[in-house]
Amino acid sequence: MAGVDEVGRGCLAGPVVACAVVIPPYERIPGVMDSKALAPSERLRLHGIIMERAWAVALAEVPAEEIDRVNIRRASLEAMRQAIEDLAVRPDLVLVDGNAQVDHPAPQLMVVGGDGLSQCIAAASIVAKVYRDRIMEGYDHRYPGYDFARHKGYPTRAHRDALRRLGVLPIHRRTFRGVSDVC
């Protein structure tokens, strides 16, 4: 069984990232839960354990320009499809966080709030979050003044202020309110 989740849907900048994880059925990793409920240091610790114990992990990202072209819902589903497709182990069942089926032939079960109910979905959310946070920290060095290392592209007051002060970057989602207002 695989779990798949995405992170970064509500951001104004950066990609949407999805992760698919296959954890052995007998494996229990204490502390694995929705990545949003964990401190960054705990996410990093659990990320290492998940990467050691998982049978397979795959990540996929869809950049801001594609999000603007197809919309965030389709981009999120496409990232999840790619992540499932790239798994080294073919799952018998995919647990999908949310209520939308992914365009993939694997049998799927949609689980609303799945990152709080399923260990494999929660593991996917943790790995995706750590990966995306690292991308945004890299953007912080590339684009000084936006403070991406702190807000990770989410629509914080500091991020909106930086947009007004410094302008829109290629990594910004131009169709999102808060960015489109500045364009």
DSSP, residue by residue, 2-41 = EEEEEE-TT-SBS-EEEEEEE--TT---TT---GGGS-HH
What pLDDT score does 126 carry? Answer: 98
Average pLDDT, the chain: 97
Residue closest to 136 by CA, chosen among 155, 154, 124, 153: 153
Element housing 64 (H / E) = helix 64-70
Under 8 Å CB-to-CB from 67, ≥6 apart: which residues? 15, 16, 75, 173, 175
Residues 106-132, mean pLDDT to the nearest whole number: 97
In CATH terms, is domain 2-166 a member of 3.30.420.10?
yes
Side-chain-side CA neighbours of residue 155 (13 Å): 11
Percent of the chain with pLDDT over 90: 97
The larger pLDDT score, comparing residue 117 to residue 183, is at 117
Which residues are CB-neighbours of 50 under 8 A, at least 6 positions away? 21, 23, 29, 32, 57, 123, 126, 127
Q: What one-character DSSP code corresponds to residue 108?
A: E
Residue 74, C-beta contacts closer than 8 angstroms, at least 6 positions apart: none
Nearest by Cα to 163 from 145, 149, 175:
145
Entry pTM: 0.96
Rounded average pLDDT over 166-182: 95
Average pLDDT over residues 2-24: 97
Residue range 30-86, pLDDT digits in tens: 999 989 899 999 999 999 999 999 999 999 999 999 999 999 999 999 999 999 999
pLDDT at position 136: 98
pLDDT confidence of residue 182: 85
Report d(CA 26, CA 154) in Å as an integer: 36
How many Å separate Cα 71 from the centre of its chain? 16
